[in-house]
Amino acid sequence: MQFYSTNDPTHKASLAEAIFRGLPADNGLYMPERLDPLPREFFQELPYLSFAEIGYRISRHLLGEDVPDADLKSLVYDAVNFPAPVVKLDEQRYVLELFHGPSLAFKDFGARFMSRLMGYFNQGNKQELVILVATSGDTGGAVAAGFYQTPGIEVVILYPKGKVSLLQEKQLTTLGHNIHALEVDGTFDDCQAIVKQAFLDQELRQEIRLSSANSINISRLIPQSFYYFEAYKQLGAKGDDVAFCIPSGNFGNLTAGLLAQRMGLPVRHFIAATNQNDVVPEFLKTGVYTPRPSVPTLSNAMDVGAPSNFARMLNLYGQVNGLDPLNPATHQAMRELITGFAYDDDRTEDAVREVEQRFGYVIDPHGAVGYLALTEWQQSNPGTRGVILETAHPSKFKPDVERILGHEIEVPQRLAELENREKVARPMGTAYAPVKQWLREQFL
């Protein structure tokens, strides 16, 4: 498979190049050159396939020319080694639990797939690889767990000081070994800007082999398409009666759903659910895209003011070159398939309570935003079934969820153990130069 840049369709890269570079030099994003529908047998056999096998078939469909079948199969089965169950709330509404991996968030799928693919292509390379990643909370934990003790790979995680939960912070600052944390006195967007600058810094890149692990990396996105098929299978769905509702920040998860649809998954509709950081719902409504600084909310993993995958979404709907002015036809095509809704923290808190009262289900604040959006969308689309992607386990946001519900909630053992571990993080400002200097001291 070749990959092209959203800023220049003639710029091509191989899978290994796209993964290790993360970002094309023109500041676009990599996209797979072909997104053909999966073969008919895949859909015929889908009801009987395991989740890991679904992942392998999709991977082979996309990457079969790049990785031999046997290697690809063991890599995917190793990455997809935990379930994604669909839980029924009522006849119309379902929750797809994506939090059964090591860091209790959906990002485990991307991080585990990516680390194994990178490990595969990195075999026999003498120079160590440094993964740079900005996190608004959950990426860091997933990447730390996914890459922990991967030979030849060092991981540097930048996170906004005071803006991630205690347990999130522990997930990325307590592993040690090849996992390093930088605590940035700023916002997630500041962290993301530093990472982008490092990738565009040719001098640094001559010295250190850098790669990214944010949702901008195409290898994070591919495995996120697997669980759309898995949910469809579990629902025994036929035709396109199922809508997917995606609590969104950088819109990687939603973009992965769009990829799944391009690969032939029948989808009734996509619902983009955000908190007050609502630039995409606003765009879907008005056709005007206005990125702006993020504001902090209860669902902090979605506090993104300039979603990085937006360029990919546009590209899938006809934007040939990301630097071209927005085309009204692109907006129109997206609106037909995606509807956006945004909610403030008060509504989100109400929804967390409502879901517990009505269904006895503890939902996290990100999932609660999804619940609101699906419920609102279904008011004008009765008779549909909707799946809310539950992106994290509620215990990742324990203090908030317990305050909202007024009682304690269960914490899975592997998260509880972290509480007593010691945090190790290097304080940083929002400037790029000190980060660069630190990278050179560490890795040269």
Ligand X SMILES: *Cc1c(COP(=O)(O)O)cnc(C)c1O
Which residues 6+ apart lie within 8 Å of 185 measured at CB? 161, 427, 428, 429, 430
Which span sits near ligand X by CB under 6 A: 5-13, 15-23, 191-199, 246-254?
246-254
Positive or negative: CA dihedral 201, 224, 280, 1: positive
Does 105 contact ligand X by CB under 6 A? yes
CB-based contacts of 61-69 (< 8 A; 24+ apart in sequence): 61/36, 61/263, 62/1, 62/32, 62/222, 63/1, 63/15, 63/222, 65/1, 66/1, 66/14, 66/15, 66/16, 67/15, 67/117, 67/120
Q: From the DSSP assignment, how many helices (H) and strands (E) are in the chain?
A: 20, 14
Which span sits near ligand X by CB under 6 A: 4-12, 190-198, 251-259, 425-433?
251-259
Closest to 143 (Cα-Cα) out of 217, 82, 251, 247: 217
Q: In the complex with ligand X, which residue's Cβ is closer, 208 or 245?
A: 245
Does 348 contact ligand X by CB under 6 A? no
Does 221 contact ligand X by CB under 6 A? no
Q: Which two tokens stand for residue 425?
A: 């993080």
What's the closest the beta carbon of residue 55 comes to ligand X, in angstroms? 18
Q: In the complex with ligand X, which residue's Cβ is closer, 37 or 399?
A: 399
Question: Of residues 156, 301, 388, 404, which one binds ligand X by CB under 6 A?
Answer: 301
Question: Of residues 249, 305, 322, 394, which one binds ligand X by CB under 6 A?
Answer: 249
Does 331 contact ligand X by CB under 6 A? no
What's the closest the beta carbon of residue 235 comes to ligand X, in angstroms? 21
Q: In the complex with ligand X, which residue's Cβ is closer, 150 or 248?
A: 248
Angle in degrees, CA 426, 430, 436, rounded to 5: 65
Does 400 contact ligand X by CB under 6 A? no
172/156 Cα distance (integer angstroms): 10
247/421 Cα distance (integer angstroms): 30
Burial class (CB in 10 A: 0-12, 13-18, 19+), 405: middle
What's the closest the beta carbon of residue 236 comes to ligand X, in angstroms? 27
* Contact indicator for 299, 327 with CB cutoff of 8 Å: no
Collapsing DSSP states into helix, strand and coil, what is residue 419? helix
Does 54 contact ligand X by CB under 6 A? no
Q: In the complex with ligand X, which residue's Cβ is closer, 211 or 308?
A: 308
Question: Of residues 24, 32, 247, 281, which one binds ligand X by CB under 6 A?
Answer: 247
CA 219 to chain centre: 11
The DSSP element (H or E) to which 315 belongs, if any, is: helix 310-316
Q: Site residues for ligand X, window 124-163 (CB under 6 A)?
A: 137-138
Q: In the complex with ligand X, which residue's Cβ is closer, 49 or 409?
A: 409
Q: Site residues for ligand X, window 177-216 (CB under 6 A)?
A: 215
Count of residues engaged in binding ligand X, rule: CB under 6 A? 17
Going through 162-310 in order, the beta strands assigned E by DSSP cover 179-184, 209-212, 242-247, 269-274
What's the closest the beta carbon of residue 346 comes to ligand X, in angstroms? 19
Pairing of strands 3-5, 30-32: antiparallel
Angle in degrees, CA 165, 406, 102, rounded to 5: 35
Question: Of residues 24, 140, 160, 252, which one binds ligand X by CB under 6 A?
Answer: 252
Q: In the complex with ligand X, which residue's Cβ is closer, 7 or 253?
A: 253
Does 398 contact ligand X by CB under 6 A? no
Does 277 contact ligand X by CB under 6 A? no
Q: In the complex with ligand X, which residue's Cβ is closer, 122 or 300?
A: 300
Q: Site residues for ligand X, window 366-395 (CB under 6 A)?
A: 366, 391-392
Does 38 contact ligand X by CB under 6 A? no
Which span sits near ligand X by CB under 6 A: 19-27, 31-39, 250-258, 347-355?
250-258
73/247 Cα distance (integer angstroms): 30
140/156 Cα distance (integer angstroms): 9
Which span sits near ligand X by CB under 6 A: 247-255, 321-329, 419-427, 428-436?
247-255
Binding residues vs ligand X (CB under 6 A): 105, 107, 137-138, 215, 247-253, 301-302, 366, 391-392
